[in-house]
């Protein structure tokens, strides 16, 4: 079963509830739906995590956890879904998001040199924020929908495989 496979890799819910950063959510973490390992909860958590991961916001894991609590989907999967954007992948992902948003808005691509300064954020970012956010939203929604389809399909395949293996096993009556 997919549930047994996931239990091996996911942290225990009691351990996560005691995490110092998650204690800010208080009793909301006691909701059992946040820890369910069923296809709907896993698919929803993956979709939510990927959506937030594609959005250019600070504190993506915190946002994903808050939204997982609000939508009552699997919290660990939602928190791990934001890892799609990490120090190695965020630049190409956000550049692609910007190009996609500029293409949809029919805005010419600009030549921007990124520097980590306040001046860059006040001048250059104002020119790219609309295409970046639109492209990020489109990619986030697309990735979320694909995650739902992929998780549900994979879950179904694993359940069918389990049924077939159970059917092949000899019973005591045979």
Whole-number Å distance between alpha carbons of 91 and 170: 54
Residue 98 lies in a domain: yes
Residue 173 lies in a domain: no
| Mean pLDDT value of segment 78-86 | 92
Residue 37 lies in a domain: yes
Two tokens, residue 101: 């948003």
Q: Which range marks the domain in which residue 66 is found?
A: 2-168
Residue 174 lies in a domain: no
* Total of domains in the chain: 1
> What pLDDT is attached to residue 1?
44
Q: Is the pTM of this model over 0.85?
A: no
Residue 83 lies in a domain: yes
pLDDT digits (tens, 9 = 90+) for 1-12: 466 666 666 666
List C-alpha distances in Å: 168 to 4, 161, 162, 171.
20, 11, 10, 9
pLDDT digits (tens, 9 = 90+) for 114-170: 666 777 777 777 778 899 999 999 999 999 999 999 999 999 998 899 888 888 877
What integer best gives the mean pLDDT of the chain? 83
> What pLDDT is attached to residue 173?
65
């Amino acid at each position: 079963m997919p549930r047994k496979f996931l239990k091996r890799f996911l942290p225990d819910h009691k351990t996560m509830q005691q995490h110092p950063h998650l204690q800010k959510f208080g009793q909301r973490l006691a909701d059992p739906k946040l820890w369910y390992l069923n296809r709907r909860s896993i698919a929803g958590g993956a979709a939510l995590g990927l959506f937030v991961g594609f959005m250019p916001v600070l504190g993506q894991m915190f946002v994903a956890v808050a939204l997982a609590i609000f939508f009552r989907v699997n919290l660990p999967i939602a928190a791990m879904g934001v890892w799609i954007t990490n120090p190695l992948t965020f630049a190409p992902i956000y550049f692609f998001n910007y190009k996609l948003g500029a293409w949809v808005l029919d805005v010419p691509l600009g030549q921007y040199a990124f520097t980590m300064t306040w001046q860059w954020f006040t001048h250059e970012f104002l020119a790219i924020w609309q295409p970046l956010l639109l492209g990020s939203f489109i990619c986030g929604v697309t990735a979320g929908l694909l995650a739902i389809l992929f998780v549900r399909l994979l879950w179904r395949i694993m359940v069918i495989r389990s049924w077939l293996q159970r059917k092949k096993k000899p019973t005591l009556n045979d």
